Amino acid sequence: MSTDPIKEELEREINSNPIILYIKGEKDQPVCGFSMRVVQVFKELGVPFETRNVLLDPQRLAKLKEMANWPTTPQVYIDGELIGGCDITLEMFQSGELQTLVEKYRK
């Protein structure tokens, strides 16, 4: 296990939440257009999901970007795997691939 407490916390969040979005702002009030679009997609899908506001802790944000080797937010994780950001999430939604991936979590 890592001796980096921030990394450990992020790994725990990612692995214990089937769908988690790292966004700018809160689930009910995203503060950037990309985060808002990603939240809207998952609300439209009707699946439960968690969010974390990356603006609250610059160290966590830096570690998240480093761990994922992904320089931007939002970051979408499903079943512990990074799916991508806004563009990839929207492409997957439009193609139907995202619906298939999250079907097991539909309410």
Number of domains in the chain: 1
For residue 60, the enclosing domain spans: 5-101
User: Is the residue at 70 inside a domain?
Assistant: yes
The 10s digit of each residue's pLDDT in 14-72 is 999 999 999 999 999 999 999 999 999 999 999 999 999 999 999 999 999 999 999 99
User: Is the residue at 18 inside a domain?
Assistant: yes
Closest CA to 53 of 74, 69, 67: 74
Measured torsion, CA atoms of residues 80, 60, 75, 103, in degrees rounded to the nearest 10: 40
User: Is the residue at 68 inside a domain?
Assistant: yes
Q: Is residue 1 pLDDT above 60, yes or no?
A: no
Residues 6+ apart with CB under 8 A from 55: 24, 25, 31, 61
CATH for 14:
3.40.30.10
User: Is the residue at 107 inside a domain?
Assistant: no
User: Is the residue at 106 inside a domain?
Assistant: no
User: Is the residue at 88 inside a domain?
Assistant: yes
